[in-house]
Structure 1
């Protein structure tokens, strides 16, 4: 069976737990200019390279992802970012038991 060019290709979307342990939400972030974005990858390998091997994920078609993101007020999808990390400018986590305390 061949795919037509109009068939949507599912994306690999990093998720985070929201509220209850069994509810997954798409991960969102911010670009350096402050715009909130949904995050998606074209392959599991790229997701793992940017987010690490323990990152939870789900596969969604772009239209479904856009629908979920719209409910969060996000209209931009960042495809295949190189690094997914903490929000830029977020305070560093305090290390309990670190030297000098």
Structure 2
């Protein structure tokens, strides 16, 4: 039995032309996570002006699982924008 929510979440994305990619993050231990917010206000408070899409929890899990991400961080308090040219470890 699934315990997932049915409400849509606000998911930050990066857009280039007509293509949007989900913004993901890393926990201090290096684990990649999806990022979602329960309200537009919480998204903007954590990341400032941000492009977003609305997705259900199931839809977000389905998209993230395709790239090997199984955890979603809901309502993180800070979302740092990646520095251009930075190399991920």
Question: Gaps spanning 5+ residues in structure 1: where?
Answer: 1-5, 92-101
CA 1:33 to 1:71, structure 2 compared with 1: closer, same or farther past 3 Å? same
Instruction: Quote the Cα distance in structure 2 between the aligned partners of 1:57 and 1:40.
Output: 10
Aligned counterpart in structure 2 of residue 39 of structure 1, from 35, 39, 42: 35
Q: Superposition RMSD on alpha carbons, in Å? A: 1.9
Aligned residues: 81
Q: TM-score, normalised by structure 2?
A: 0.83
Q: TM-score, normalised by structure 1?
A: 0.73
Aligned counterpart in structure 1 of residue 45 of structure 2, from 15, 30, 49: 49
Q: Moved runs in structure 1, 4+ residues, more than 3 A? A: none
Question: Gaps spanning 5+ residues in structure 2: where?
Answer: none
